[in-house]
Chains A and B, each alone.
Chain A
Amino acid sequence: MDYRPEDFVIEGPSVSGQEAFAAKPVTYGRDAWNRFRSNRIALAAAILLLALMLLVVFGPAVSGYPLAESARAAERNLAPSAAHWFGTDSIGRDLFTRVCAGGRVSVAIGLAGAAITIAAGSLYGGLAALLGGAADNAMMRAVDILSSVPNLLLVILISVVIDSKSPATLIFALTATGWCPTARIVRSQMMQISRSDYVLAAQMMDIPPLQIVLRHLIPNTMSVILVDATFRIPGFIFSEAFLSYVGLGVQPPQTSWGALAAAAQGMFRFYPWQLLFPAGMIALTMLAFTLLGDGLRDALDPRLRR
């Protein structure tokens, strides 16, 4: 039996008539933004984060002390005052400027670390999910082995072996196995999506695989990647702080929040502000990123909607 186009006629109200009633279509992005905007805590965290970034970038210009300051014997270990907002350190440098300078390094390491792990992890995980079968199995076993290497030991070993303690080495050491969890997350998300009905529908409509990947798999994985990134950044800042605190991280003349806290620890009982300011900055940044990540997860993942 032959069908002709005339056999298929839409019954009921016409499509154009329906559209007149329907509200403006809500896209995924707009929906997520609306949800994020109504989450006051996440919004406050985003503003706090913005303020912290502005402080780190423009702080030294406002305080009026040069970034590469020389020692001033007369102004050692001053308490916070109008001239020195955060006081001065043990060789007379303005602590506010130092905290900003250290913040640049800390935040840069956090951002770069997250960017590298996310890029490498997504590529690897995505590739494993797309290849599937034996290749996927082998790739994920390799990830299992790599992530069994105790993280901190590896970081320490790499920085000892390369024997340069520049921020670049530090980032390399921190990301060497850091991409493994991201690869796992991306792979499992992609596998889950590729088994979903709309991908099956797309396949049945004979849409080329590349287009399915671009249209369905990648956009639907982006939210997971974004949330992962928000939690990774503070993680890297924390690891950097620990390494610098131990003495294996950022070296003078460069500084970071961890290095500043380490330098202040010995004289903590006499000049507590030297420890509290950099440590407070670490805590605030951690807090802002964690809350922002929570908010993003709630906004981007409709399944977890309250």
Chain B
Amino acid sequence: MAKYILKRIAYMALVLFVVTSVTFFLLHAIPGDPITAMVQDLPEETRQSYLAAYGFDRPVTEQYLLYLRRLLSGDLGASLRYPGRRVADIVKKYSPVSALVGAAALLIGAGLGIACGICAALRRGRWSDCAVMVLSLLGTTIPTFVIAPLLQYALTVAWPIFPTTGTDGRWMALPVACMCVGPLATYARYLRSSMLDVVNHDYIVTAEAKGVGACRIVTHHMLRNALLPCVTMLCVSVAGIFAGSFIVESVFSLPGLGRYFISAISDRDYFVVLGLNVVLTGVYVCSILLSDILLMLLDPRIRTEVRR
């Protein structure tokens, strides 16, 4: 088992390395140099001294090795456009807001979604099933950039129930509401279909024949199987929390990481993009590792396969 986990860790390290390298070389494939991209008419000498100061005059492979060495020593890099802003500080400053809103949205969205999916599958064909399916279909088809301004307009201007700004905790309600629509719809749809898959299996018939109670069949025989694929989905969603949502953060003017990331891209602040990319990929890779380990603990089939 330890061997399996070690193997997964090595594999994740490889993924992180590949992603970092690909991002690095992609960014360095951009024609022209970053200094000229920021300031057009700089005197040639100044430009050269800037290039030398940042090490841009060296060959790409040397820059790459230097970058990797810095990364391994825990230095994520710093902003080119705003000297003094370090990527680590940016993450520390902007990710808590994204994480707070994202975690609340995921808890509510995935929780409600799973509950709705189970209810819909158990009451298949009745009106509650129809209602859940129609609503979740709408949830997956309407883009966030429509839901967010609509909700904002409806609940802060038309019926001023929530404040547009403020720090008393109510500011979170609307962003969380917008962000939980997606997970709610996805998980409801997903769980309904995976529950319906499970229903037709022979072991459910066996359980019924044995005289197992209806409640116990649902919790012990159906859910245990239907929820397994959700573990992977949930872990990936958790990684997405830190990345934040650009749209929701910009509509509700939240100082989150999603907004910062997109603005760094339009600012052409490449080192911040690179650094944030490493951090977000790292979180993503860790979440996949977590899901692998969880699945191994939860799914006896994987456990026996690992032992072999």
Contact = CB atoms under 8 A, between A and B. Distances in A.
Contact of A145 (B15, B153, B268): B15
Nearest to A159: B265
A246 interface: yes
Interface in B140-158: 140-143, 145-146, 149, 153, 157
A111 interface: no
A290 B137 contact: yes
A252 B284 CA distance: 34
Contacts of B277: 150, 153, 157
A19 B143 CA distance: 55
A82 interface: no
Contacts of B11: 144
Given A145-B18, A148-B285, A269-B153, A246 B27 contact: no
B64 interface: no
B262 A246 contact: yes
B30 A160 contact: yes
B39 interface: no
B26 A286 contact: no
Contacts of B146: 261, 275-276, 279, 283
A262 B143 CA distance: 12
Interface string A266-283: 001100100110010011
Contact of A269 (B30, B157, B285): B157
Interface string B12-48: 0011001100110011011100000000000000000
A148 B143 contact: no
Interface string B120-148: 00000000000000000110111101100
B230 interface: no
A148 B15 contact: yes
A247 interface: yes
Contacts of B138: 283, 287
A149 B26 CA distance: 13
A145 B281 CA distance: 12
Contact of A265 (B27, B149, B273): B149
A236 interface: no
Contact of A157 (B23, B137, B153, B157): B23
A149 B19 contact: yes
B288 interface: yes
Interface string A146-177: 00111001001110110100000000000000
B80 interface: no
Interface residues of B, number: 37
Nearest to A156: B265
Contacts, number: 92
A161 B22 CA distance: 12
Given A148-B285, A290-B137, A279 B23 contact: no
Interface string A237-265: 01001100111100000000000011001
A248 B31 CA distance: 18
Contacts of B18: 145, 149
B246 interface: yes
Contacts of B145: 241-242, 245, 261-262, 265, 279
B141 A286 contact: yes
Chain B CB within 10 Å — which of A153, A282, A286 has the most? Answer: A153
B206 interface: no
A273 to B, nearest CB: 12
B141 A283 contact: yes
A247 B266 contact: yes
B143 A163 contact: no
A149 B143 contact: no
Q: List 3 tightest A-B contacts by C-beta distance, closest first.
A: A286-B141, A279-B146, A148-B15
8 contacts: A145-B18, A148-B281, A161-B26, A247-B266, A268-B153, A269-B153, A287-B141, A290-B141
Given A245-B247, A269-B157, A282-B143, 12 more contacts: A157-B277, A158-B26, A160-B265, A161-B27, A246-B262, A261-B146, A269-B153, A279-B142, A279-B143, A282-B141, A283-B142, A287-B141
Interface of B: 11, 14-15, 18-19, 22-23, 26-27, 29-31, 137-138, 140-143, 145-146, 149, 153, 157, 243, 246-247, 262, 265-266, 268, 273, 277, 280-281, 284-285, 288
